Amino acid sequence: MATQTTGFFTVETGTAVIDVRLRIFLDNLENVAHRAGVRVFRRRNGSISELLAEEVSLSPGARRVVEVEDVAGEDVQVTVDLPEREYPPQSPVVPGVAVVSVFAPENEVTLLHWISAGDFAPAG
């Protein structure tokens, strides 16, 4: 498995009726099943805590979305463990992170930031 990370980034605050969340996307571009790992870390008062650690099964051609709440106003980092491939060297599983706001009364979702696969860097 290859570990990739977004590094830490700051998330917007919401309001009483607007919640801010992360949506972590994992796309399996191959016609065979794969597994991937997702971890989300939060930095608060100088120390790091793990908000989420999850292993995800991806059936052929499938997309999974992992939603993370309680991140508004926080500094967070998303790290993914992806299956490796010799050739071509890219992983068959492509990650992405959306920072979205959800307006609860109408369940309206607005994209605030998009972190693409190219924004991730190898970790470790």
CB of residue 116 to other proteins, shortest distance in Å = 8
Instruction: Provide the Cα torsion 62, 109, 55, 43; round to 10°.
Output: 150
Residue 58 burial by Cβ neighbours in a 10 Å radius (0-12, 13-18, 19+): buried
Is residue 7 at the binding interface for other proteins, with CB under 8 A as the rule? yes
Subset of 56-75 contacting other proteins (CB under 8 A) = 73, 75
Token duo for residue 73: 């106003």
- Residue 103 engages other proteins in binding (rule: CB under 8 A): no
Which stretches of the chain bind other proteins, using CB under 8 A?
Answer: 3, 5-13, 15, 43, 48, 73, 75, 77, 79, 99, 112-113, 115-116, 118-121, 123-124
